[in-house]
Chains A and B, each alone.
Chain A
Amino acid sequence: QQPVQSPQAVILREGEDAVINCSSSKALYSVHWYRQKHGEAPVFLMILLKGGEQKGHEKISASFNEKKQQSSLYLTASQLSYSGTYFCGTASSGGGADGLTFGKGTHLIIQP
């Protein structure tokens, strides 16, 4: 089952903050966040692992609630370059063998 992302779209002014949520009906081992700009490949931002480990982008933070199978991505003091579509990908086990299951994405538009 695909994780559910919310909101579907958000429009901000430069400098404002945004939160993007990702919720799964399955127990999760890890949550991965990507950003994709139009016509380009998704770019890895951050991984959050069961047990609290995080790896990723310096200016972006995220949380992972293992009990609720939810993750949130926090974009603070947004810049124009943050515009794009954000995807969460989830894995129910470690090892990476069977890939990630992705949500449908959240479209983020940053206006000057």
Chain B
Amino acid sequence: DAGITQSPRHKVTETGTPVTLRCHQTENHRYMYWYRQDPGHGLRLIHYSYGVKDTDKGEVSDGYSVSRSKTEDFLLTLESATSSQTSVYFCATGSLSGNTIYFGEGSWLTVV
């Protein structure tokens, strides 16, 4: 499995505050992804990156932004958190040759 570390693992924040989740990988994988997981919806793609400074929107990108300044780090930012963004957030990485993706441990975010 890829070495993927997410931080923070758990966070409670207030509506309207900015929040940044960090994903760090040690496998030198080119591709990185942020998914959110909610009951009844499964895993849904928020944003993805196909290289340093190369990012694109996924299925549920509204209210989220991302940045990737180094191969190993992929940041997800909620500019102004809302209660609908209470969720479990998973980072994932993939390499072209492996052709599948591996998940980090998850970050539990509660917006009150």
Chain A positions within 8 Å of B, measured between CB atoms, are 2, 30, 32, 34, 40-44, 47, 49, 55, 87, 89, 94-105
The 8 A-B residue pairs with the shortest CB-CB distance, nearest first, are A104-B42, A41-B103, A102-B43, A96-B94, A97-B50, A99-B33, A102-B42, A47-B100
- Residues of B close to A101: CB separation below 8 A: 45, 59
Count contacts on B: residues with CB < 8 A to the other chain.
29
In the complex, which residue of chain A has the Cβ closest to the Cβ of B58?
A99
A94 to B94, alpha carbons, bound, how many Å? Answer: 12
Chain A hits for B35, CB < 8 A: 99, 102
Judge if B101 is at the interface, Cβ distance under 8 Å.
yes
Residue among A44, A49, A55 having the largest count of chain B Cβ atoms under 10 Å:
A44
* B42 in complex: contacting residue of A2, A47, A96, A97, CB < 8 Å: A2
CB pair A103–B48 under 8 Å, yes or no, is no
Residues in chain A near residue B94, CB distance under 8 A: 96, 99
Please measure, in the bound complex, the distance between the C-alpha atom of A53 and the C-alpha atom of B102, giving whole angstroms. Answer: 19
Taking a contact as CB atoms under 8 Å apart, the answer to whether A104 and B41 are in contact is yes
